[in-house]
């Protein structure tokens, strides 16, 4: 029987693209920012049904409860980085004329994400937590590798990829978001509604159990 999928909820600017490459190994494929391709919850369910798959996501933390509905057996890793460091990292990026970041808005966004990640870490059974800076350490990467994948740590593989600076293109991501904004807004609304419905079902069950 195949192992369940793994989902890595990470702060932005926390080596998420590198993790995707590091954890694409053997028969397993680790995606990066798969959420941006989702147009409906059916897409999420289909993706999570695939064998030997994982993903690293920096925008999915607000929707973590959907994973509990669709794949409660998923293995979850949380990668933390202080919000202030994330903000400074964003502000150093060259956006090549695609826009500009507002420090105050960026700070609010990253702090909300940081809070959500701590929520996941506290509430997901068996979740693993690691710090951004510890991903430079092979022992931490060994733990991450063996937590996510059904293989023993491969020192040679780590040595090959550890020195490679892998980053996604922020200008390209911004162009993508503008082009697909309408579809992303609809998918976001569907996800929020599903979370709300799930909460109401949980509250109804809790009240029934108390009554009994």
Ordered by start, the domain boundaries in the chain are 6-211
The residue length of the chain stands at 212
pLDDT number for residue 212? 44
The radius of gyration of the chain from alpha carbons, rounded to an integer in Å, stands at 18
Model confidence pLDDT, tens digit, residues 154-179: 999 999 999 898 988 999 999 999 99
Q: What are phi and psi of 57, to 5 degrees?
A: -130, 135
What percent of the chain lies above the pLDDT cut of 90?
81
Q: Name residue 80's beta-bridge partners.
A: 131
Short-list 186, 198, 166, CA closest to 13: 166
Token output for 121: 């870490």
Residues β-bridged to residue 130: 79
208 contact partners, CB below 8 Å, separation of at least 6: none
Burial bucket for residue 54 (CB in 10 Å: 0-12, 13-18, 19+): buried
Q: Do 118 and 64 contact (CB within 8 A), yes or no? A: no
| Position 141 pLDDT exceeds 70 | yes
- Tokens 């964003």 correspond to what residue? 90
**Cα–Cα dist 87/95, whole Å:** 14
Mean pLDDT, residues 23-47 taken together: 94
The domain 6-211 belongs to what CATH superfamily? P-loop containing nucleotide triphosphate hydrolases (3.40.50.300)
* pLDDT, tens digit, 9 for 90 and up, residues 61-97: 999 999 999 999 999 999 999 999 999 999 999 999 9
Contacts of 78 (CB under 8 A, 6+ apart): 8, 9, 10, 117, 120, 121, 127, 128, 129, 130
Token pair belonging to 41: 């919850």
Confidence of residue 195 (pLDDT cuts 50, 70, 90): confident
């Amino acid at each position: 029987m195949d192992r369940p999928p793994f989902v890595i909820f990470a702060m932005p600017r926390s080596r998420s693209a590198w993790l995707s490459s590091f954890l694409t190994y053997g028969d397993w494929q680790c995606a990066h920012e798969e959420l941006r391709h989702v147009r409906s919850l059916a897409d999420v369910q289909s993706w999570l049904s695939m064998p030997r798959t994982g993903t690293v996501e920096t925008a999915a933390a607000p929707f973590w409860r959907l994973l509990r509905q669709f794949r409660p057996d998923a293995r979850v890793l949380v990668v933390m980085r202080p919000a202030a460091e994330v903000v400074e990292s964003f502000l150093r990026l060259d956006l090549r004329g695609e826009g500009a970041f507002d420090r105050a808005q960026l700070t609010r966004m990253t702090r909300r994400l940081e809070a959500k990640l701590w929520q996941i870490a506290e509430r997901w059974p068996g979740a693993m937590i690691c710090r951004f800076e510890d991903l430079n350490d092979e022992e931490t990467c060994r733990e991450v590798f063996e937590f996510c994948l059904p293989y023993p740590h491969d020192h040679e593989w780590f040595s090959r990829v550890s020195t490679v600076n892998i980053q996604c293109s922020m200008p390209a991501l911004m162009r993508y978001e503008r082009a697909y904004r309408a579809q992303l807004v609809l998918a976001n609304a569907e996800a929020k509604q599903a979370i709300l419905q799930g909460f109401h079902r949980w509250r109804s069950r809790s009240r029934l159990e108390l009554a009994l």
